Structure 1
């Protein structure tokens, strides 16, 4: 009798596993977080089966899936998201607008810029009006100020102002680049972590001239393409060792 019960239990468990592994039609909707606007034409990909679908005009999609599958949801100007299917219930996916991820970096950059502007004002209050680079017109005998000219060239405060101005220009350039290429944004759009993430940030940090006309979409595109190159290089290096 005990053997019969055990046999029946095994049958039930086996059937349960079969049911669990069966495909079903998953229904879902893609919504922008915060605005609750339904997102049309979002791309939904089942990573296991490589099958895809697109959300319709009201954000709804259907896709064959299994319990345990991972879906990748993508939409231009919104942050990609991966979702693991845990039940066969209808799925609601919230995507975050990419620009919101840049807000914190932008605020930090603006705060730093304000601090540096304050330092420049302090130099002016201390007598360096030309940041150590006096115009030649100061040498003119008609309304010029030769003393100011030579003070700006050789004075200690103007020298510090001149050095700071070089630092200021460099930092402004970095602040603009950091809006589009920073640890937070890279972490959200790649699988890189730890030392690999730090090395990637150093190796693929773009120049200001590269980012000058970027939008959020361009930044995410650059990060993903560069991360693929980086991981491919790591993989090839490991294979040759």
Structure 2
């Protein structure tokens, strides 16, 4: 084989590999659906985090999400009460993700819910609230007011506050969870737990955040965390 032919073949091979590498790095939109494993339940408000480009997405009301990614990217899918899932992006633009229930966490939830109900019974001695107003409320405004100020009404409002707080904390979790924090700080184990405890934003601060705002908060907080650690040492 002539040298010129060898050189041409080598150039062709290099171009092919370069083209494949370029294609692998080119971003496209990944469309996916998240299910509970071994069921047909679609999971809403699961957080999807691309470890390379730091993009974040949330599943919608029917478990769907889309996110910018490239071939070879790792997507970390997280949801409260489920084990995290790591997915490597291939050439397909459509994916199905399955999350496994965290049974240990579910046991803890049952215990906590039981404690809440026991506290309400102890405080109000009225049993579990129904949240309903008496039928008489449709006939008399005074009855409606009584229904809202009675023990049952108080119990219902207490549950409502508890539920709303859970929703707010879920919103914060979308921007400030272990996967995202660890990926942007490198923290692990006890240091990660300490950082998340001390620098977790409240709902009012984060309710209008974009992904950029969430990551900026983590990085700015990590700088404060690092500066404090240096002073202590």
TM-score w.r.t. structure 1 length?
A: 0.45
Q: Which has the larger radius of gyration?
A: 1
